[in-house]
Structure 1
Amino acid sequence: MNRRMILITFALFLTTGAWASQPSVYTGLLSDTGAGGYDTWAVAQGYLAKGDPQHWAIRDGRLYLNYNQSVQNRWLEDTRGFIRQADANWPKVLE
């Protein structure tokens, strides 16, 4: 796991208190983060944007981040579709 993912995950736990309320849900998230901690909507569109730990969601045991609230609102309109497209673009989008 890279330093960025550690910081994002730590910030998520600090800002939400999520770890304290449901530690078993979050145990595996460190090793399975959708889109590598980047904004999942952006990866689905074919480019990289930083994920913000204040704009997150968990789907099927994976942590997904978005750039800001506006982007997250768009992402939530078709979460499954954007995840599917982001997975198809990953890791090609890193090139």
Structure 2
Amino acid sequence: MGLSREATNTAFEILTEINGGFGGYEVDYHDPDKLGIIMTNDMRSDGSVERAVLNVREITPEQVEIFEKRKEEVPNSSIYRTLEDQPDVTCIGWF
């Protein structure tokens, strides 16, 4: 089940805060080499998405704290994992 429109907006807000500003977003795209761009898939006509994730290189304790404090604001399952082939990149977000 994807994010509702409200959950999508909240996820974008949180990921933008973690990113230190809005770096844009790309639909139907996930590339582990892309940093600072919110990646989504299946954007619907009401603005909701199936998932919203952000890749962060060398994530800071402050960024982790923002995510941990705010992740429950989005009622969907969250993801927080280090990429296997790039141990300095962390993927965070919701699906």
TM-score class, shorter: under 0.3
Q: Which has the higher strand share?
A: 2
Q: Which structure features the higher share of helix residues?
A: 1
